[in-house]
Amino acid sequence: MAEGYEPSGLTPEEFAALPPYDEIAGKTFSEVTAIYGEQVAIHVIIATDPDCWVPIEAEFAQARPAIEVDPDLVNAYLAARTNGQNRVNVELSLDQDVVTHFRRKGGDWRARINDVLRRVVNETEIETGPVTPAPTHEQSE
């Protein structure tokens, strides 16, 4: 490994093509570009960036799943993603005036519809018997 460089995100070929570190140390991007070209200058910036870390094989070997390292953090993240609910995506046809009503209030209108349905479920006892379909427009006339 060249002294002063880290192979941060570079292929072995790109890393090997870098100029000696002492030749570019203290030079600006423009100065390195003028001498070695833009591609080399970009690779120099990547290789010298302390925030661009690429783990080595030994570090990969020590890696563990996040759930083993900090289960509380992972569970909090998963709960926040699902709002603590076990959600299911469904296709649902609603009357236009209902959708218009919820959309008019702005924000996440789908979440508000879910909240209204949640309140109804919590406040009423839902029959478990057969569901009677709603009358069609022809039947209601």
Residue-level pLDDT at 50: 72
Query: Can you list the pairs that 102-107 forms with residues at least 24 positions away whose Cβ atoms lie under 8 Å?
Result: none
DSSP code, position 140: H
**Mean pLDDT across the chain:** 77
- Count of domains forming the chain: 2
**What are the two backbone dihedrals, phi and then psi, of residue 39, each rounded to the nearest 5 degrees?**
-60, -45
Locus of tokens 């970009």 = 42
Count Cβ atoms below 10 Å from residue 18 Cβ, excluding itself: 21
Distance, in Å, from the CA atom of 102 to the CA atom of 132, rounded to the nearest integer, reads 26
- The answer to whether residue 129 is domain-embedded is no
Among 45, 62, 79, give the residue marking a domain's end.
62
Band (pLDDT 50/70/90 cuts) for residue 1 is very low
What is the reported pLDDT for 5?
Answer: 63
Domain hosting residue 102, numbered range = 68-123
Same domain (yes/no): 97, 117 = yes
